[in-house]
Amino acid sequence: MSDTGEAGAAEKEMEKAMDGFLRFLAIERGLSDAYQTSVRQSLDAFAAWMKARKCGLAEIGTDELAAFLGLRKQESLIASSLRITTVHLKIFFRWMTNTGRLPMDPAEPLLAPRPDATLPETLSQKEVAALLDSIDGTQLLGWRDRAILELFYAAGLRLSELCKLRLESIDFDECFLRIQGKGGKTRLVRFGGKAREAIEDYLKNERPALVKKRTGSHLFLSVRGGALSPDRVRQIVKERAKLAGIEINLYPHLLRHSFATHLLEGGADLRVIQELLGHADISTTQIYTHVDRARLKAVHTKFHPRG
């Protein structure tokens, strides 16, 4: 079949799926005409995006959906409308999966943006230094907790990525981590000398005492010898922030935001930051340019004589 024929077949497949889904909303869910119209508008926009890229439903994955939503954001779609579009895509692809039209749901990992979403919070470089320097390695679990926070900030890891990190994933000679991120994608992330020192101190002074008979190769261990859970790591971060006198609500992803923001402030290229963070689409990384612009605006307003 020619490219034109394949494109036409993909377009008809999408139109048929949309019609079936809207009938489902009307007949089985009994949803209003206004709601059906809203859903149709979201799906029409997505169908037009698919047509422009000559791809069919079988080729749509989470990255493609994120790219479409990123484009809509660049087109100045307000946060509330972007949230509605995301919800429409999620319920459409959930229906496609539940009815056997697709083997897997590519929209399941998508998170709808919060209404009136604000720019991500970040710590200042001084606050990060105060947090990390406040942890005394000689105290109970101090080596471990310092290594955790150093690594969050040094490598910009997601919480799930840190919890899954294994000893064999660390290259101490070159200071690289092999990270398995979203969608099973692997990337290399560099960490600095301070983080290397903190990890080596933990491996030498504390991890051996945490090892039990059934302990695996996870880097960070609980007192029972198992891998630390995400909830426990969140708790550790909050406890260490409180002890350091940091008053804002500190959570692991805030350290990831700080990592990216401080790189950008230091002059790092946005594409490099995208690769380090493991973002599939550059539009996700571009939020940090807004953070940097907001910081510059605040500094200008505060210090310029006619700000």
What positions carry a catalytic annotation? 158, 182, 253, 256, 279, 288
Pairwise CA distance, residues 26 & 32, whole Å: 7
DSSP 114: P
Pairwise CA distance, residues 143 & 52, whole Å: 53
DSSP 3-state of 26:
helix
DSSP 103: S
Cβ-Cβ contacts under 8 Å for 1 (sequence gap 6 or more): 9
- Closest by CA position to 187, among listed 280, 270, 251, 258: 280
Strand-by-strand arrangement of the 176-180 sheet: 170-171, 176-180, 186-190
- Closest by CA position to 60, among listed 92, 31, 32: 92
- Enter the tokens of residue 237: 């971060």
Pairwise CA distance, residues 237 & 134, whole Å: 12
- Closest by CA position to 73, among listed 38, 117, 40: 117
Pairwise CA distance, residues 290 & 181, whole Å: 25
DSSP 3-state of 59:
helix
222 φψ region: left (φ > 0), alpha (ψ -120 to 50), beta (else): beta
Pairwise CA distance, residues 171 & 205, whole Å: 19
Please spell the DSSP secondary structure of 210-237, one letter per residue. H--TT--SBSSB-TTSSBPPHHHHHHHH
